[in-house]
């Protein structure tokens, strides 16, 4: 026999109380994927030292309805050796999330921290496979601290709102 603890997240309990907060992934998808290796095949030769790799990360969220949101995680990675670009890979990986039962003040952290945290492992794997399929060792991105990114964006937004035009 199922206990009340076995109820799906977000389901109302038997006492008629309101539903528990829920965050569900409804879909995940590749919105954009680009891999460029402008110097191939010369750029594929071995090197004595590792190339420099610049990585940019961005998160965007858009409402689809009251309780559904489209969250896009954009990852850009550019590898270069001296002045030569070895590869440039760009991925926009999206997810559609159903979010319900959370206080309004929790929505931005959920959209910009929790949702991209759920998408990141899949996006990381796609980047690794794209670089490997391009003839390079797989680029294994380090984990990203989305909470720190969110706090930094909030601080930047607050600083720019304090700038007054005279």
Residue 162, token pair as written in the block: 């304090």
Ranges of each domain in the chain: 20-141
Fold of 20-141: Bacterial Protein-export protein SecB (3.10.420)
Q: What is the DSSP string of 66-84?
A: SSEEEEEEEEEEEEEETTE
3-class SS of residue 157: helix
Sign of the C-alpha dihedral computed for residues 117, 120, 122 and 125 taken in this order: negative
Other Cβ atoms less than 10 A from the Cβ of 124: the count is 21
Tokens 């110097």 found at:
39
pTM of structure: 0.81
- The pLDDT tens digits along the chain (166 residues) read 444 444 444 444 455 456 799 999 999 999 999 999 998 888 777 777 888 999 999 999 999 999 999 999 999 999 998 888 999 999 999 999 999 999 999 999 999 999 999 999 999 999 999 999 999 999 999 999 999 999 998 888 888 776 544 4
């Amino acid at each position: 026999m199922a206990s009340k603890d076995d109820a799906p997240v977000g389901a109302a309990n038997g006492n008629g109380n309101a539903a528990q907060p829920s965050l569900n992934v409804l879909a995940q998808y590749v919105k954009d994927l680009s891999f460029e290796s402008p110097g191939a095949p010369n750029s594929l030769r071995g090197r004595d030292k590792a190339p420099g790799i610049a990585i940019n990360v961005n998160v965007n969220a858009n409402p689809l309805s009251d309780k559904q949101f489209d969250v896009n995680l954009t990852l850009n990675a550019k590898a270069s050796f001296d002045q030569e670009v070895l590869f440039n890979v760009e991925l926009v990986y999206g997810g559609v999330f159903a979010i319900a039962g959370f206080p309004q003040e929790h929505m931005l952290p959920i959209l910009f921290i929790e949702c991209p945290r759920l998408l990141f492992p899949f996006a990381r794997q796609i980047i690794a496979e794209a670089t490997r399929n391009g003839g390079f060792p797989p680029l294994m991105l380090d984990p990203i601290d989305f909470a720190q990114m969110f706090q930094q964006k909030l601080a930047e937004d607050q600083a720019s709102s304090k700038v007054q035009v005279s």
